[in-house]
């Protein structure tokens, strides 16, 4: 009899182990969109879908932040179906991102535990940064269909395992907010010293969004004064040695040259982005109910500028329409407020930092762009369930310990 009942338990354990393995693999690989099959569906997406399906019982446990996201799905789909420029590929991408990853992607990671999630996210970020540093100094080549910008010297704008330089910055910037959750001080410092060069290797103006993350780490470091002094000395030593040592000096010279060229083009870049925003806002008046779809949005915005809007929020609005955009942003806001309410400040700012980085990013139908929302949703679901369980336990404890005076006999 015991052997009969042991079979389901063994099967359940093996399924749980497989789900955990798929979830860990997906979480580690999702920031690496360069590892794809030639399309936006990457190797990480295979493990993500598998991890969600293996954790199917969680799908019926609806979270508050899912409701507005699910309500937005029909609007995104309808906008894509009515877009004459969209194809079946765009429709599948819209359904996958807005109908599966955004509302249900958290299901894959809800069983991992917050500390394990943080460790995997930071390990992935460190890997991405190391690859970016190698590409920047010319030791590693382009991967797949990614785009590395070479300025003719010995230093290039690196993309790491992302598709483009700006995507690398978007992926690494929020991770700085999670560094204080690491237990050991040396580990925290090492992770910071790897992520900063990785961010600089992209030579992107968006790196300014990483400054709050560095300050957040220094502020929460127990020995903040010593760490701040060490970082200043390290930066000064880099500049001084860069002038005196041949190898380091050449690297510093070429890196400075790339930065100078980028700064020389900053006026043109700002003007171009302002023009793209103006054109997008002109089209936004026609997207009050439904949007133009992903392909239609690109056609309209790029008709005069040969470029697309570099503001994620405007891109979502034009793609799905104003109601769909408001519903989606409401779901993201519920994740942020829920994490703050449950005192998960580091994870909350991890999501907020990503929201800031998206303000200079194009809206893409790729899963890595919504990863922080998926991670934040998983951790929010964990802490919410833990809070409910603790309150239920306290209520039961009080009911058993308190005397029942209603049945006290009268004298």
Using CA atoms, how far residue 7 sits from 56, 63, 336, in Å, is: 20, 33, 42
Torsion of CA 328, 333, 336, 338, to 10 degrees: -100
Cβ neighbours, 10 Å, residue 9 = 9
Instruction: Report the SS3 class of residue 36.
Output: strand
Helices 246-264 and 266-284: crossing angle, nearest 10°? Answer: 40
DSSP for 75-125? Answer: HHHHHHHT-TT--HHHHHHHHHIIIIIHHHGGGGTTTT-HHHHHHHHHHHH
DSSP for 328-381? Answer: HHHHHHHHHHHHHHTT-HHHHHHHHHHHHHGGGS---S-GGGGHHHHHHHHHHH
Per-residue confidence (pLDDT) for residue 340, from 0 to 100: 95
Q: d(Cα 176, Cα 372) in Å, to the nearest integer?
A: 13
Q: d(Cα 84, Cα 302) in Å, to the nearest integer?
A: 16
The structure tokens listed for 278 are: 């103006």
Residue 328 near residue 66 (C-beta atoms within 8 A): no
Q: d(Cα 116, Cα 192) in Å, to the nearest integer?
A: 19
Q: d(Cα 138, Cα 133) in Å, to the nearest integer?
A: 9
Q: d(Cα 90, Cα 390) in Å, to the nearest integer?
A: 44
Per-residue confidence (pLDDT) for residue 306, from 0 to 100: 63
Per-residue confidence (pLDDT) for residue 304, from 0 to 100: 66
Q: Which class for 190: exposed (0-12), middle (13-18), buried (19 or more C-beta within 10 A)?
A: middle
User: How far is the first Cα of the chain from the last one, in angstroms, to the nearest whole number?
Assistant: 57
Per-residue confidence (pLDDT) for residue 341, from 0 to 100: 94
184 φ, ψ to 5°?
-95, 135
Per-residue confidence (pLDDT) for residue 2, from 0 to 100: 47
What letter would DSSP give residue 42?
B
Q: Which H or E run contains 64?
A: none
Per-residue confidence (pLDDT) for residue 244, from 0 to 100: 47
Place of tokens 């969680």: 58
Residue 122 near residue 178 (C-beta atoms within 8 A): yes
What letter would DSSP give residue 408?
P
The structure tokens listed for 34 are: 């360069």
Q: Which H or E run contains 54?
A: helix 43-54
Give me the residues of the chain with pLDDT under 70, please.
1-11, 38-39, 144-156, 235-272, 304-309, 397-411
pLDDT tens-place string over residues 270-283: 666 777 778 778 88
Torsion of CA 320, 326, 332, 337, to 10 degrees: 180
Per-residue confidence (pLDDT) for residue 165, from 0 to 100: 84
Half-sphere exposure of 135 (CA within 13 A, CB side): 32
pTM of the model: 0.85
Burial code (b: 16+ CB inside 10 Å, e: under 16) for 281-301 equals eebbeebeebbbbbbbbbbbb
Q: d(Cα 262, Cα 151) in Å, to the nearest integer?
A: 10
Per-residue confidence (pLDDT) for residue 1, from 0 to 100: 46
């Amino acid at each position: 009899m015991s052997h009969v009942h042991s079979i389901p338990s063994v099967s359940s354990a093996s399924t749980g182990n497989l789900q955990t393995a798929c979830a860990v693999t997906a979480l580690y690989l999702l920031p690496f969109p360069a590892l794809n099959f030639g399309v936006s569906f990457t190797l990480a997406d295979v493990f993500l879908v598998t991890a969600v399906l293996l954790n199917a019982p969680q799908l019926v446990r609806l979270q508050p932040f899912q409701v507005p996201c699910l309500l937005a799905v029909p609007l995104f789909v309808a906008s894509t179906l009515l877009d004459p420029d969209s194809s079946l590929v765009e429709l599948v991408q819209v359904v996958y991102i807005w109908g599966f990853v955004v509302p249900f992607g958290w299901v894959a990671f809800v069983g991992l535990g917050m500390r394990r999630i943080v460790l995997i996210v930071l390990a992935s970020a460190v890997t991405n940064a190391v690859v970016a540093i190698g590409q920047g100094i010319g030791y590693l080549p382009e991967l797949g269909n990614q785009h590395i910008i070479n300025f003719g010297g010995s230093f290039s704008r690196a993309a790491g395992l992302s598709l483009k330089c700006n995507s690398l910055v978007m992926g690494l910037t929020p991770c700085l907010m999670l560094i204080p959750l690491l237990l050991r001080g040396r580990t925290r410092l090492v992770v910071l010293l790897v992520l900063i060069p990785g961010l600089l290797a992209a030579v992107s103006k968006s790196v300014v969004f990483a400054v709050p993350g560095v300050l957040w780490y220094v502020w929460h470091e127990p020995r903040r004064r010593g760490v701040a002094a060490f970082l200043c000395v390290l930066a000064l030593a880099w500049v001084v040695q860069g002038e005196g040592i041949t190898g380091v000096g050449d690297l510093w010279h070429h890196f400075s040259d790339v930065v100078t060229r980028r700064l020389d083009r900053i006026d043109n870049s700002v003007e171009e982005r302002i023009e793209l925003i103006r054109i997008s806002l002109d089209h936004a008046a026609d997207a009050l109910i439904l949007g133009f779809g992903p392909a239609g949005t690109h056609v309209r915005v790029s008709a005069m500028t040969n470029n697309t809007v570099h503001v994620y929020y405007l891109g979502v609005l034009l793609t799905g329409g104003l109601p769909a955009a408001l519903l989606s942003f409401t779901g993201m806001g519920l994740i942020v407020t829920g994490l703050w309410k449950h005192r998960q400040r580091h994870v909350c700012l991890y999501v907020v930092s990503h929201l800031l980085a998206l303000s200079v990013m194009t809206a893409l139908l790729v899963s890595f762009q919504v990863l922080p929302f998926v991670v934040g949703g998983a951790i929010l679901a964990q802490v919410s369930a833990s809070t409910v369980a603790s309150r239920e336990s306290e209520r039961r404890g009080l009911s058993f310990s308190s005397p029942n005076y209603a049945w006290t006999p009268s004298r």
